Structure 1
Amino acid sequence: MIDDFAKEYLHGDLREVREVMLRKLDGLSEYDVRRPLTPTGTNLLGLVKHLALSEARYFGEVFGRPFPEPVARWDDPERRGADMWATEHETREEITGRYRRAWAHSDATITALAVDSPGHVPWWPRPGVMLFNVLVHVLTETNRHAGHADILREQLDGEVEMDWEGMARRGQDAAFWENQRAQIERAARAAGSVEA
Structure 2
Amino acid sequence: MTTSELPQDAKAVLHRYLREARQALVWKVEGLSEREARMPRTPTGTNLLGLVKHAATVEIGYFGDVFGRPWPRPDDAPWLAAADAPDADADALQAEFFATADEPAERIVGLYRQVWDFADATIDTLSLDAPGHVWWWREGNRDVTLHQILVHVATELSRHAGHADILREEADGAVGMRPGNDNLADGFDYAAYTATLRGIAERFPEEPR
1:29 aligns with 2:30: no
C-alpha deviation, 1:181, in angstroms: 0.3
Q: For residues 53-79 of structure 1, what are the alpha-carbon distances to aligned partners after superposition, in whole Å with 9 as ceiling and x for unaligned?
A: 110111001001111111514543232
Bigger fraction of residues in helix:
1
Displacement of 1:94: 1.2
For the residues of structure 2 that align with 1:69 and 1:89, how far apart are their CA atoms?
Answer: 18
SS in 1 for 2:144: strand
Query: For the Cα contact (< 8 Å) 2:176–2:184, is it kept in 1?
Result: no
Please give the root-mean-square deviation of Cα atoms over the aligned residues, in Å: 2.1
| Paired AA for residue 15 in structure 2 | H
1:194 to partner: Cα distance: 9.8
Offset of residue 191 of structure 1: 2.4
Preserved CA contact (<8 Å) 2:14 2:151: yes
Query: 1:112 matched to which residue of 2?
Result: 125
Residues 166 and 151 (structure 1 numbering): CA distance in 2 closer, same or farther, change over 3 Å? closer
Q: Distance in 2 between matches of 1:195 and 1:75?
A: 40
Greater shift, 183-192 or 43-52, is seen at 183-192
Number of the residue aligned with 2:12: 8
| SS of the residue 1:80 aligns to | helix
Out of 193, 201, 204, the position equivalent to 1:188 is 201
Show the counterpart of 2:108. 95
Deviations 1:6-34 (A, max 9, x none): 21111101111111111111211100000
The Cα offsets for residues 76-109 of structure 1, whole Å up to 9 and x where unpaired, read as: 3232010000011001121111101110011110
Residue correspondences, number: 191
Query: Structure 1 residues 164 and 40, CA, compared in 2 at 3 Å: closer, same or farther?
Result: closer
Query: Counterpart of 2:158?
Result: 143
* Identical counterparts, % of pairs: 47
Which AA in structure 2 matches 1:184?
Answer: L
Which of 18, 22, 25 matches 2:22?
Answer: 18
SS at the partner of 1:129? strand
Unaligned stretches of 5+ residues in structure 1: none
Unaligned runs of 5+ in 2: none
TM-score, L = length of structure 2: 0.85
Give the Cα separation in 2 of the matches to 1:38 and 1:56: 26
Distance 1:194 1:30, change over 3 A: closer
- CA distance in 2: counterparts of 1:194 and 1:93, whole angstroms: 45
**Do 2:175 and 2:182's aligned partners in 1 also have CA atoms closer than 8 Å?**
no
**TM-score, structure 1 normalization:** 0.90
CA gap of 1:183–1:139, structure 2 versus 1, over 3 A, is: same
Residue of structure 1 aligned with 2:167, choices 144, 152, 168? 152
Say if 1:18 and 1:142, in contact at 8 Å, map to a contact too: yes
Query: Given residue 192 of structure 1, which amino acid in structure 2 is its aligned partner?
Result: P
Q: Aligned partner of 1:167: which letter?
A: A
8 Å contact from structure 1 (residues 34, 43) kept in 2: yes
